[in-house]
Every structure is written in structure tokens, then in C-alpha cells.
Structure 1
């Protein structure tokens, strides 16, 4: 799906779908399965969910600052440094999922009140340069769907296999693994 082709209301609706998709992707996984690293040097499923949960409020803050301030400076963050220092393997899956859901619900409420013209307001990202509110919304809307194939591939490669009816393990290759 090309998010840039959606209207603002459609984009916000897609943004709100992400947490449900993530919940479905990890449904029924044991703690052992969440912590498994079937690919050396790649994140476990729990680390991936913790990454999503850590960057959800970052994006929420960026969008709020673009709305509230004129041309704010917005700092980047290194996902691997977050993973190395922020106890990703000690995190509780439900807490992480709830955080993502809460941030998105709050932001959707805010974004639905914003005049269309304000989606062109700009923040100065420290790494990517000037970016609009709409661009940030598109990026965070695509963040969960971007990572879902990585969760599925971990599940499909592990000894336990996911055994879910919706699993695509036998029918398709899921590409690059994070």
C-alpha cells in the first residue's frame, strides 16, 4: 500500500490498524519463542516489539512538536543503541503492546482535529533534514507493517514453527530479516 496516496483520514485509519496487526503477529507466542533468535545477530521478536514500543512515543513527540512549535529540531535515535542499553529482553510483551496502542489512540485523537494544511508543517530532523507532519505520520504508520515479515520469518524458521492457520511459512518467502 502506498501511504502517500491516502487521504489524511485514511492515513490515520491505517495508523490505528498497526497495533492490532502486531498483536495478531505475536499472538500465542511463549516467552521462549519471543526471546528466540533464530538468526545470529538479529533481534528476537521481543526485541523487535520493544523497538517498536520505544520509537512510538518518539514519533508521537515529533508530531506533537511539529504541530506546537515552528520548525522544531527533531533528533534521530539509533535503534541498535536503544536495544543494547534498554533491557529489551526483560520487557513485558503486554506492556509494550499497550504502550503502542495508547500512543496511537492519543495521537489519532489529536491528528483528527488538525486542519489539513497543518500536515504540511515541517520539523528539522537531525539526520533526514526537513520533514512534514504528514511524512512523519506516513513513516510511523508503515513502521509496524515493515517489521511484520521479520516476525513471521523468525516464527517460520524456529524449531517450534508457529502452527497458526494464518501462517505463511509454507507458502512464501518473507525476505530480509531484522
Structure 2
């Protein structure tokens, strides 16, 4: 358990690349990687609406993030994946820096951020990563990159994995 009472998610979610997520129903393998940018943009209004709810700071149960915390996390996911995709498109088989999402939540104090600021930053970061995915062409889809834990991605699977994360968290907040 973290200092803020949330149990860290230590699952390796790369399995979503091979089968539909039973929690949210998302089928990452069916995602056309050349449409990731458009799909991100389609989700942004749902995030903005969720972050405008009056109970945005309320945790649905002990140990579970509030909508605000999930929104701040997704904003940071957009930023991290924007950087990872940029490195995959400009470098040969880059090794991604480790990103501890739980440490990031504590360090940035997600629970006490301003939801209006988070919504604005989430949209900006979402537009940025969507634009980066927009420039991906068919010849880029096989370019590799590696996470610090050894998981290997291609531009194709990075986009699919990333899109699941964003959609799954919409499911988490009921948006």
C-alpha cells in the first residue's frame, strides 16, 4: 500500500495485446494503429466531462483513485507515451526510461490538483500525442522499443497498448 492508501497496480498489462480486456471490453489487437490519434481525440471530451463532475475528488472506495487522480494519471500517460513514440520514430530500438506511475501520483499529489487545470493539461497532452501518432506511417509500424522491464513493443503494439490504457481508465471512472 502506498502512502495515500492506494494499492499499487503491479500487473503486467501487456497481455491486453493478445486478448480482449475482461474488465473494460477493449480489444487492443483490433485497433488499427494508424487511427490512434483520431481515437485519442474522440476520448478527450469524455475526460473533460468526467473531470467537471462535482464529485471529481471523491474516491469510490478506499484504495481506489478518484476521477481526478485517474485524469492526472492519463495526462501523464499521454506525456510518457508521446516521448516513447518520439524516441521510437527517431532512434533504433530505444530503451524507455522507467516510469513508476505510483511514485508519479504521490510526487505530483494527484489528489490535490485543480481538476480544471488537469482537464486543460490532459487535452493539451492528448492533442500532442495524437498528433505524433498522426505522423506514423505503415513503414513505421514495425519500429521497436523496449521498456525498462524488458517488454518489447513495436510502434503498432505501443499504440494499441497505450489506447487500451486510456480507454480502460475511462471505464474506471464510468465515463
CA distance in 2, matches of 1:41, 1:6: 31
Is the alpha carbon distance of 1:65 and 1:34 closer, same or farther for their aligned partners in structure 2, counting shifts above 3 Å?
same
Gaps of 5+ in 2: 1-25
User: Does 1:149 find its partner at 2:171?
Assistant: yes
Aligned to 2:15: none
How big is the alpha-carbon RMSD for the aligned residues of Structure 1 and Structure 2? 2.1
User: Does 1:124 find its partner at 2:149?
Assistant: no
State the number of aligned residues: 150
Is the alpha carbon distance of 1:148 and 1:107 closer, same or farther for their aligned partners in structure 2, counting shifts above 3 Å?
closer
| SS of corresponding position for 2:149 | coil
Aligned to 1:94: 116
CA distance in 1, matches of 2:78, 2:129: 10
User: Could you give the per-residue CA deviations for residues 30-74 of structure 1, whole angstroms, max 9, x where no partner exists?
Assistant: 2xx122123111112211111111221011100000001111111
User: Could you give the per-residue CA deviations for residues 117-172 of structure 1, whole angstroms, max 9, x where no partner exists?
Assistant: 112101111124211112121122222220123212xxxxxxxxxxxxxx8xxxxx
User: Any conservation in 1 of the 2:88–2:145 contact (CA below 8 Å)?
Assistant: yes
Aligned to 1:45: 67
| SS of corresponding position for 1:100 | helix
User: Any conservation in 1 of the 2:44–2:123 contact (CA below 8 Å)?
Assistant: yes
Aligned to 1:12: 37
Alignment TM-score, normalising by the size of structure 2? 0.75
Aligned to 2:76: 54
Q: Alignment partner for residue 46 of structure 2, among 5, 17, 21?
A: 21
Is the alpha carbon distance of 1:55 and 1:7 closer, same or farther for their aligned partners in structure 2, counting shifts above 3 Å?
closer
User: Any conservation in 2 of the 1:18–1:141 contact (CA below 8 Å)?
Assistant: no
Which of the two has higher C-alpha Rg?
1
Aligned to 2:19: none
User: Any conservation in 1 of the 2:51–2:115 contact (CA below 8 Å)?
Assistant: no
Is the alpha carbon distance of 1:34 and 1:7 closer, same or farther for their aligned partners in structure 2, counting shifts above 3 Å?
closer
1:56-95 alignment, distance < 5 Å:
56-95=78-117
Gaps of 5+ in 1: 153-166, 168-178
